[in-house]
A and B are shown apart, each in its own frame.
Chain A
Amino acid sequence: MLYDEDQMSVLKKAVEEETAKTQEKLQKRPERKEVFTTGSGEPVKRYYTPLDNASMDYMDDLGLPGEYPYTRGVQPTMYRGKLWTMRMYAGFATAEESNRRYKFLVEQGSSGLSVAFDLPTQIGYDSDHPLAEGEVGKVGVAIDSLADMERLFDGIPLDKVSTSMTINAPAAVLLAMYIAVAEKQGVSAEQLRGTIQNDILKEYIARGTYIFPTEPSMRLITDIFEYCSQNVPKWNTISISGYHIREAGSTAAQEVGFTLADGIAYVEAALKAGLHIDDFAPRLSFFFNAHNDLLEEVSKYRAARRLWARIMKDRFKAQDPRSMQLKFHTQTGGSTLTAQQPDNNIVRVTVQTLAAVLGGTQSLHTNSRDEALALPTEDSVRIALRTQQIVANESGVTEVIDPLAGSYYIEAKTSEIEEAAMKYIEKIDALGGAAKAIDTGYIQQEIMDAAYAYQKSVESGERIVVGMNKYQIEEASPKGLLRVDPAVGEMQKNQLESLKSNRDNARVKETLSALHTACEGTENVMPLILDAVKAYATLGEICDVMRDVFGEYKQTVNL
């Protein structure tokens, strides 16, 4: 027990008296609102005391930084040892154009790369596919083959940078391309550092770039776990993502609950495939959102760390401490940005940056002010990166670890989110696990209910969004937004055509047919994908082989 029993009973009496007295005053002079709530709509009390943390045990529930259950952070020195990785998500148009943006970001002090792919790439279509029309190069860079990947990383030494790739259904193919580019640079796979998102379950739930049905998708993921544990040991093989779940409208507790439930599903799939827990669990990483309610968000990250540590230790009997450490990337909340008075978004992103840093993130992407309107311009990206640099170097919050620990509110909220998340996990377990809960539409429905409740609270004016439903002004249309050249689609198509006439097509056919056989069997597909990639088989060709064997996912549509 953290608090002395006698003192607690004195406190209890004092709180009761104070509450009675204040209730009387409130009759005459009510507070601003009848109910006060967090950003997620959870009620909050007027103040918190040790009574709200009566059952807390310091060593069991908090521990020290770098020690189980890692509530206070996964490293003993945190930002005193090394600042978080400032990792700006970027990519648009062609590989050349994106390569220029990456070099700009590195020059400006970005410490890690983060690749955004366009939708055809994310869904395994080449740029000349009919469904790719209008989408090539729009939300990210178009990658059709190893040749594009070589241009994307031209002049960027892959033994020096760490690279995160937001790629899911075809993650194995893009990872293989990265390994092949590195090899051409003379960099071995063992030296490569980075992350692939590789989280298919949240694609079914919230993000939408799925290709294959659940079972073969889980096999691809465990094949990657296995291949990397032997060949690319410093690579984070998955980034289990709550980000998109939150963007789809979930609450903070749902973000933690659904994300960790997905995590459990990946661990179970890997164990079932015969992998040993401590061989792959240290390379699992997470990805969370940062919304505006600073204190709720800080509590959320702390709750997620503690809950994951407990799950890994108690449920999966992990032995290696690294298996129990929840390491995460954060991105500020895109859905919190307003199209109105876009410069106000800089302030929102600052609050969200503080939340992520006070919550102990390992890396961070800050959104740009203009992202409710278009892809960000270079100027906007620079301000977003500077926001991180100012928090890192000027705010002082980096000098002491987990400085909000011990706040009666933060600790109570941390426990509350952990409990609420655990309830969701229990419910999902009862439904047969995350994949089943997605098939029934349960998770999507819960998120949608929260999203609709949020929308209604904004429209009723109960929730104020500055510049959008209050403090509006007459504004001229924003000028100077980034536009992707519509010719990118044609350029990619032309390059594909010349690639296909210049490569060794017999070799391509051979590697694709070997991959086909492997997909039908049970062997690890990674080496065969690597062979196909090196023969300059295109992303679409490789994914078509897998589509042929695995089939395609059919979405559960519900409102």
Chain B
Amino acid sequence: MERPIRVLVAKPGLDGHDRGAKVIARALRDAGMEVIYTGLRQTPEQIANAAIQEDVDCVAMSILSGAHNTLLPKVVHLLKEEGADDILVIGGGVIPDEDIPGLKEEGIQAVFTPGTPTQVTVDFIKSHVTPRA
């Protein structure tokens, strides 16, 4: 039997707004995924380590403080260094449209901004995670 998709929901940086992260975590869980939530104030190193240790298929990061351009790409780079670049990395939060192309270039495969239905995120993860043996 196929294992359920495993997702690490993470809060990078010092931002304390976790409503979005928790709502997404519950929606992913309701959609049948296994969800691990890191809690607040995670460094990129902590997030990458947790992703590898928990053997997740996807890292979903929520950030509303404006530090996204600094923190999100770091997680992608760290995963790559560890040879875990098959993990799907996505982000969400208050992120200006004009920053999104740059983030995608850095390897964040989707950015979901305020008002996105949770189903859109669920569908994106389902169709973009690397299938497991």
Using an 8 Å CB-CB cutoff, how does the interface string of A125-140 with B read, 1 for contact, 0 for none?
1000011111100110
Asked if A557 meets B37 with Cβ closer than 8 Å, knowing A135-B14, A340-B115, the reply is yes
Interchain CB contact under 8 A, A559 and B115 = no
A373 nearest CB neighbor, chain B only: B96
Smallest Cβ-Cβ distance to A133: which chain B residue: B70
Q: How far is the CA of A372 from the CA of B93 in the complex (A)?
A: 9
* Residues in B whose Cβ lies below 8 Å from that of A518: none
Q: How far does the alpha carbon of A345 sit from the alpha carbon of B2 in the complex, in Å?
A: 46
Nearest to B63 among chain A residues (CB) is A134
| Selected interface stretch from B25-33, B48-56, B78-86, B123-131 | B25-33
Contact B19 A208 (CB under 8 A): no
Q: Is B16 an interface residue (CB 8 A)?
A: yes
Q: How many residues of B contact A (CB 8 A)?
A: 36
**How far is B41's CA from A216's CA once the two chains are assembled, in angstroms?**
21
Chain A: CB-nearest residue to B68: A134
Given A135-B13, A559-B22, A559-B37: A468 in contact with B97 (beta carbons within 8 A): no
Q: Are A335 and B19 in contact (CB under 8 A)?
A: yes
Closest A residue to B97 by CB, please name it: A477
With contact pairs A119-B65, A374-B94 given, residues A339 and B14 touching in the complex (Cβ less than 8 Å) = no
Assembled-state Cα–Cα distance A448/B67 (Å):
25
CB distance from A474 to the nearest CB of B (A): 14
Q: Are B115 and A203 in contact (CB under 8 A)?
A: no
Give chain A nearest CB distance to B111 CB in angstroms: 12
Interface size for chain A: under 10, 10 to 19, 20 to 34, or 35 or more residues? 35 or more
CB distance from A356 to the nearest CB of B (A): 22
Contact segment of A253-261, A309-317, A416-424, A451-459: A451-459
Q: Does A120 contact B (CB under 8 A)?
A: yes
Asked if A247 meets B19 with Cβ closer than 8 Å, knowing A134-B69, A135-B65, A559-B29, the reply is yes
For A135, give its contact among B23, B25, B67 (CB under 8 Å).
B67
| Segment 443-500 of A: residues with Cβ below 8 Å from B | 448, 451-452, 455, 459, 465, 468-469, 477-478, 481, 483-484, 486
Which chain A residues (523-559) contact chain B, with CB distance < 8 Å?
A: 555, 557, 559
Q: Is the pair B22, A451 in contact by a Cβ cutoff of 8 Å? A: yes
Q: Is B47 an interface residue (CB 8 A)?
A: no
Task: Say yes or no: B16 contacts A208, CB within 8 Å.
Answer: yes
List, sorted by A's number, 5 A–B pairs whose CB atoms are closer than 8 Å: A125-B14, A139-B65, A248-B19, A338-B115, A340-B115
Among all A-B residue pairs, the 9 with the closest Cβ atoms: A208-B16, A134-B70, A134-B67, A119-B14, A138-B66, A557-B39, A477-B97, A339-B114, A468-B115
Given contacts A133-B71, A135-B65, A209-B14, 14 further A-B contacts (CB under 8 A): A123-B14, A125-B14, A131-B13, A131-B41, A132-B14, A138-B67, A247-B17, A248-B19, A372-B115, A455-B27, A483-B96, A555-B39, A557-B39, A559-B25
| Residues of A in contact with B (beta carbons under 8 Å apart) | 119-120, 122-123, 125, 130-135, 138-139, 203, 206-209, 247-249, 335, 338-340, 372-375, 448, 451-452, 455, 459, 465, 468-469, 477-478, 481, 483-484, 486, 555, 557, 559
